[in-house]
Copies of this chain bind each other. A is one copy, B any other.
């Protein structure tokens, strides 16, 4: 029998207990032995839960119990999740987690610690909820050089953008509604300002390139500045505005960024709507593959945590390919100003300014003029160049959105 401890009995923690119980027979068949949830660590008591008798409040009980060989960390937040993870790995217990904050901030160190102690640190649930993405990157696509990943990685913002797109509603109105419906938190900052997506793209970049970048240092723009007019304009031009986590290499250096992007109709993630996530991986041998599904939620996320648990419980530690990450040095990280793409630029300019704008930007596409909004899509140019052009023309900037 294998004894498991769950850290955290919130949404994902209780979901994981549910998955392990409800699908016990198929799970034990795959693991090859009985699986017992021995402890559930939480500050609260759950007297009405069928798991009430497993709830403990003192982490040391778990850390000190040699019978517990596998721990699922679903506490959320960096602390004490990080410290508990370190303690478990040092005690020779494998850890699986849904905690993107810990993986993005401390993944390099925790993976090294796991290696050092002959155990595993797995985090399929930290990106894309229930969508298989970490293991496919690590195993299925292992023969590839990944060239880029673009992902809709946050369901809350995608829900908001989808409704803005279909209803022509304002960001503020849809956000309020999303909060009422439970799709957005009371404090939505981590979602709408892009930090949640930033953590996830940092994890994907590290899976693709083996180098972790500090998620707090990457270019990160949220969706609070997107207006109903932007959304309508994008639609007319054949695009949808999505919050995209994006990573690629620029001259060998790693770029990771989060920003709203115009996604063209032909892109497989164009149609990823509502709370769903979609992750498009471009790699040298396979071309493009896309992974789509529920990027959050109790049972979908628990499905991924339980998948990692089965992997750990069914294998010897040597049987698992843990990725090796190193922290990227400053000279391995691309300056976002060097990144090249096309840009939607909307200026407070007049139709008659087209000639001048063309001279400065060197080519305008999909030119559009409505009531003081002069909009166009540039040729491919660097961030630095487009910013210099905007400054040069001296018309008030209404908005600039990168094209994917």
Contacts and interface: CB of A to CB of B under 8 A. Distances in A.
Interface stretch (A190-198, A215-223, A310-318, A344-352): A310-318
A130 interface: yes
A142 interface: yes
A23 B144 CA distance: 7
A321 interface: yes
Q: How many copies are assembled?
A: 2
Contacts of A19: 143, 285
A387 interface: no
Interface residues of A, number: 52
Interface in A306-342: 306-307, 309-311, 314-316, 318-321
B135 A307 contact: no
Contacts of A290: 290-293
A50 interface: no
A340 B290 CA distance: 30
A140 interface: yes
A299 interface: yes
Contact of A287 (B139, B284, B287, B293): B293
A271 interface: yes
B143 A306 contact: yes
Q: Among A27, A144, A286, which residue has the most Cβ atoms of chain B within 10 A?
A: A286
Contacts of A139: 132, 135, 139, 307, 310-311
A26 B137 CA distance: 13
A33 interface: no
B286 A142 contact: no
A132 B135 CA distance: 10
Nearest to A270: B271
B289 A142 contact: no
A138 to B, nearest CB: 9
Contacts of A76: none
Contacts of A22: 284-285
Contacts of A145: 23, 26
B291 A141 contact: no
A310 B132 contact: no
Interface in A259-299: 268, 271, 283-294, 297, 299
Interface string A16-41: 00011011001100100000000000
Contacts of A299: 285-287
Nearest to A273: B266
B319 A318 contact: yes
A62 interface: no
Nearest to A124: B140
A315 B321 CA distance: 8
B30 A285 contact: no
Contacts of A300: 285-287
Interface string A342-379: 00000000000000000000000000000000000000
A291 B289 contact: yes
A108 interface: no
Given A315-B321, A316-B318, A318-B316, A143 B288 contact: no
A193 to B, nearest CB: 27
A276 to B, nearest CB: 8
What are the 7 closest A-B residue pairs judged by CB atoms, nearest first?
A319-B319, A143-B306, A132-B140, A289-B293, A132-B136, A130-B286, A285-B303
24 contacts: A19-B143, A23-B145, A23-B284, A27-B142, A30-B321, A130-B286, A130-B287, A130-B289, A135-B135, A136-B140, A139-B310, A141-B307, A142-B307, A143-B302, A143-B307, A143-B309, A271-B271, A285-B300, A287-B299, A290-B291, A311-B321, A315-B321, A316-B316, A316-B318
Given A23-B285, A26-B142, A143-B310, 6 more contacts: A19-B285, A23-B143, A132-B141, A143-B302, A143-B309, A144-B303
